[in-house]
Amino acid sequence: MTSKTGFTTGPSRRLVLAGAAAFPLVAIRTGPARAAEFTYKLATGQSLTQPINARLEQACGRIREASGGRMELRFFPASQLGSDTDLITQVRSGGIEFLNIAGSVISTVAAGAAITNVGFAFSDYDQVWRGVDGPIGQYVRTQIEKAGLIVAAKAADNSFRQITSAAKPIRTPDDLKGYRIRVPVAPIFTSLFSALGASPTSINFNELYTALQTRLVDGQENGLVAIDSGKLYEVQKYVSETNHIWDPFWLVANRRALSRLPDPLQEIVRRELDRAAAEQREDVVRLSGTLKSQLTARGLVFEAPDKEAFRKALSQAGFYRDWKEKFGPEAWKALEAVTGGLA
């Protein structure tokens, strides 16, 4: 991990994320600063190089200024307050008030949130944002509320995920037969790769580099930002641009804590967190192109796999049929309204 105050990235990354320091927060004070009326915590489990952290830190400053000091949102990125599992427990109990969490992770307590992780469902970002800002997002928000939490902002972008490997490129489903691949602790990820004939293993991200280095697993799957921030290019050779799963970030809040805020403060908080999400989406788009060039320069070889072959293999294995039954007709209808028929 790096220090809380900066990003340990190359020059081009700093240029892309120049916005992290581009919005000076200036306050004109005529007297001593007063103590905040509400002091809350916002935590993330994402590494400091993830753009979401820069944008959320900016949002915390804007909230303090816009509220005239009434609201202080203290920012704790990069698992400073615990692992993803710990953070979910804390935000549900009120130990922290706000949490940025991947959809794949929050689905461990709100199973319906995994609807965004259906394999090879989204073809591009146009579908992603029409769905997540529309019917799919509304469905997920309802599921998260049933778990006792509130979604406090638009979804941010945890990006499309790609498969990496050390020994061979992954171009077709046959290349995954018996392949030992690391996946996050999320049933739909395990189901996806099992259906493709692989041997998925759930490993925490902070243990992933060692697992790849020691060949406990042959490969893994993540977005390019995570591949770069985790320095996985040091222990992997090939990147197959499968876009097999898109994953959001959800900014969730403790229901009781959010309800304690007066309406004007709630409006400020939601507005500034929405802005952070919108800006982070743009950051990821810019970073994706930059990172591909950077990772190629570091020795990774990019492959263009046959995505339709993967989708056909999932269909033949009953993956879509099984998950349609698990999610139920409401969720599946919301998904197919955006993606088209999945079979």
Residue 181 forms beta bridges with which residues? Answer: 200, 219
Q: What are phi and psi of 262, to 5 degrees?
A: -60, 155
Percent of the chain's residues with pLDDT above 90: 83
Mean pLDDT, range 87-106, rounded to an integer: 97
Q: What are phi and psi of 260, to 5 degrees?
A: -75, -20
Residue 41 forms beta bridges with which residues? Answer: 74
* CATH code, residues 162-244+297-336: 3.40.190.170
Mean pLDDT, range 257-274, rounded to an integer: 98
* CA-wise closest residue to 102 among 116, 91, 86, 121: 116
Numbered ranges of CATH 3.40.190.170 in the chain: 35-158+247-292, 162-244+297-336
Order the strands of the 162-165 sheet from edge to edge. 199-202, 180-183, 219-222, 162-165, 238-240, 301-303
| pLDDT tens for each residue of 162-176 | 999 999 999 999 999
Band (71; pLDDT cuts 50, 70, 90): very high
Is the distance from CB of 163 to CB of 303 less than 8 angstroms? Answer: no
Residue 126: half-sphere exposure toward Cβ, Cα within 13 Å: 1
Is the distance from CB of 283 to CB of 19 less than 8 angstroms? Answer: yes
Secondary-structure class of domain 35-158+247-292 per CATH: alpha beta
Is the distance from CB of 233 to CB of 302 less than 8 angstroms? Answer: no
pTM, entire model: 0.87
